[in-house]
Amino acid sequence: MNLEVRLFLCCAMLLMTVGSACSAEVVERRRDQFGRDFGYYLYPIVGEIPGMGRATGVGASVLNMGGSDTDFTGYYVRGDIKATGAALLDYHVLPKRLIFDMGYNDYRVATTAYNRGIDSNPADLIRPKVEGSYLLGQMTLTFDERRYEAYARILSGKNHLIEVLDQNNQAFAGVDTSWKTGNFYSIGGSLDLTDDRLDPRDGVRFEFSSRLPHRRNADESEYFVNDYNLTGYAPMRKWDTLVFNLFYSRAHVTHQGTTDYATLQQHYGLNCTQYPVGPNRDACLSAESKLLANKLADNLYGTASPLGGTQRLRSYDNGRFYAGQSLSYGVEYRWNLTDERTPFNILVAKGIRTGIQLAAFWERGMVADQSSQLFKNGRESYGVGARIVLSGVIIRFDLARGREGSQSQLWITYPWSMFSVDNPS
């Protein structure tokens, strides 16, 4: 029995146990899951994504427009990250049953990319500069105050490499800078037996997502990626919460692409022969061999959802660790300093503040191409954070530390989310 099946059965048994325990007394929702409190925010943005950089700008959100559950939000940021976006959320095609979301984002960013595997050298990296845009649409079928949901999602986008820099900020020549377009499809669902979708303090939540097979050209493998996310919430003291999370992702190759090194070199190589014999050519060949090794491994095993960034292993860069499988688990204690519904109405904002929170967390993650290697090594993060809980959004600041140093991040949503704007697929 492979690891994916064992983990799925463990999750199922845990959910059945929780379900049996809850059958006598179902965890009640603390509030209406279809918001009606009108609010708006015009706010400065000071954001940071580990491995991508910082950005500042402005955002605007309007919550529960016209007495409905529908929200609109938009933002404009510039800095290391240049991005513009807008989204219409929770539009009810059928009231409290069928919900439509859509959003648009364009971006220009210099990412940091590492070699494959948990033991990749942090100094061995390249910096691709990427420009692109995508349009996202999702239809969600929901039941029983959003406790049970299934969804279908499409992401249609385009992107291209502007250039690729080595660790010394020297650009590689011969990089393919043509635009790539594609449509990406996902299906999934959730079982949310908690007391609140936005700010849960009691219960359990299980989420599943499958990114359906996609292949851009004949050289690449076609594979789908299954993600499983299980989160438990235990109430502590008067208002506090102890949170546990288990996440597992696995890629399944359905059609294998090219595994011939010479063919991959011809199509994806860095054109190192343009350099005269010497240090520059040697550096180019070294970078090329690692790039092609990653491409070969991707064709053999696929690539699961990565670890590192704003959601998991928060002390590491975004997408720092990746392979055919990834696993992470963690615990977080949330001190709720207040439990309130405090209306506010100032010139640039109107809404309801529902809490102020401090947090301490620990998490561990591992990646590997084969199940037998997954538990042999891992990385850890630990740290503290602070959050402001508003009627429609969580504003989060975390300071995390791990083997490769410290990272700070100012972001939205709680950690361990299945979907975040820095990893929309």
User: Using one digit for the tens of pLDDT, what is the confidence trace for 134-184?
Assistant: 999 999 999 999 999 999 999 999 999 898 887 777 787 777 888 989 899
Tell whether 423 is covered by a domain: no
69 contacts 95 by C-beta, under 8 angstroms: no
How far apart, in Å, are the Cα atoms of 388 and each of 15, 34, 335? 30, 20, 12
Confidence band, pLDDT 50/70/90 cuts, at residue 86: very high
Amino acid at position 392, single letter: G
Tell whether 425 is covered by a domain: no
Q: Which region, left, alpha or beta, applies to residue 378 given φ > 0 means left and ψ of -120 to 50 means alpha? A: beta
Tell whether 388 is covered by a domain: yes
Question: E strands within 8-147?
Answer: 39-49, 53-63, 71-79, 81-94, 98-110, 113-114, 125-143
pLDDT in the model for residue 85: 94
Closest CA to 362 of 327, 402, 305: 402
Tell whether 28 is covered by a domain: yes
Most confidently modeled range among 245-249, 272-276, 336-340, 351-355: 245-249
**Prediction pTM value:** 0.88
Tell whether 399 is covered by a domain: yes
Distance CA 85, CA 25 (A): 42
Res 419 pLDDT > 70: no
Give the tens place of pLDDT for each residue, 268-321.
777 777 778 887 777 777 777 878 888 889 999 999 999 998 899 999 998 999
Closest CA to 292 of 252, 326, 258: 258
CATH number of the CATH domain containing 269: 2.40.160.50
Distance CA 264, CA 282 (A): 19
Q: What's the number of domains the chain is made of?
A: 1
Domain limits at 260?
Answer: 3-412
Res 24 pLDDT > 50: no
| CB contact burial 241-268 (16+ within 10 A = b; e otherwise) | bebebbbbbbbbbeeebbeeeeebbeeb
Give the tens place of pLDDT for each residue, 101-145.
999 999 999 888 899 999 999 988 888 899 999 999 999 999 999
Tell whether 418 is covered by a domain: no
Tell whether 162 is covered by a domain: yes
Report residue 97 as tokens: 């049953």
Q: What is the mean pLDDT of the chain?
A: 85
∠ CA 153-416-114, rounded to 5°: 85
317 contacts 308 by C-beta, under 8 angstroms: yes
Tell whether 348 is covered by a domain: yes
